[in-house]
Amino acid sequence: MAIAEPAEIPAEIFPARLVDPDLVEVGRRLFAREARFITGTAEASALPRDNLPEVAFAGRSNVGKSSLLNALTGRRALARTSNTPGRTRQINFFDLDARLMLVDLPGYGYAEAPRTEIGRWTALLRRYLETRTALRRVCVLVDSRHGIKEIDHPLMRLLDASGVSYQIVLTKTDKVGSGELALIAERTAAELATHPAAHPEIHLTSALERRGIAALRASLGSFALSADRGGAGATAIEYAPR
């Protein structure tokens, strides 16, 4: 009988590495729990308390952020909440099993966005990044067909300046061949090396084909409160604005 190999999740992380099967299982269980919409706000003064470790998702509009959030949480419409008119320019908060806060940051790069709106968005984001002490990681989503673009630079500069740890998650990998994907990943890694707050690891995902989802769950799950500190039995958490 063959000896069980360590769980390798091929082509889900660049540079490729083995993912601890225990972490995959922890991530799977965590993301199988209910993600509860807490609030959406465009006002820095109305941000909920940050009493849970937090991971945030950002990217230009249409990058596949809603699809990825839905794939991660196994829900069809979790992030539709964020895509409904009026909510797209807000920061939306989802509590995952009272152990991790998932934060959907507004998409940027709307061609038609007026300058005043871009200014408001930047101010809100800056305030968010400066004040969230529980923010552990920002996933910056980038379309794998294009790699990091000029449009992503203001966000990356803001993250570097605020010292918030961030990582690139390539989306829609089903749309590129493996050779092209490897090239984009290498180019992306080379660019990340020049950004002080960027994590060197890149996640390669396809919400459509559910690639890279298990590895990303494993990676983000490591920021969650452990099951015995949070979860169903934990003390109810207050989300009143501070």
Residues that bind ligand GDP (CB under 6 A): 59, 61-67, 83, 107, 171-172, 174-175, 206-208
Quick one: 83 or 122, whose CB is closer to ligand GDP?
A: 83
Task: Find the shortest distance in angstroms from Cβ 199 to ligand GDP.
Answer: 21
Task: Find the shortest distance in angstroms from Cβ 15 to ligand GDP.
Answer: 22
Task: Find the shortest distance in angstroms from Cβ 64 to ligand GDP.
Answer: 3
Task: Find the shortest distance in angstroms from Cβ 59 to ligand GDP.
Answer: 6
Listed in sequence order, the residues at least 6 apart from 73 whose beta carbon sits closer than 8 Å to its beta carbon are 31, 35, 94, 96, 102
Task: Find the shortest distance in angstroms from Cβ 141 to ligand GDP.
Answer: 7
Burial class (CB in 10 A: 0-12, 13-18, 19+), 233: exposed
Quick one: 43 or 209, whose CB is closer to ligand GDP?
A: 209
Q: Quick count: other Cβ atoms within 10 Å of Cβ 210?
A: 12
Quick one: 39 or 83, whose CB is closer to ligand GDP?
A: 83
Alpha helix segments (H runs only) across the chain: 21-32, 65-73, 80-83, 115-131, 153-162, 178-192, 213-221
Quick one: 93 or 99, whose CB is closer to ligand GDP?
A: 93
Quick one: 50 or 143, whose CB is closer to ligand GDP?
A: 143
Q: What DSSP string describes 208-220?
A: TTTBTHHHHHHHH
**Rounded CA separation 4/204 (Å):** 25
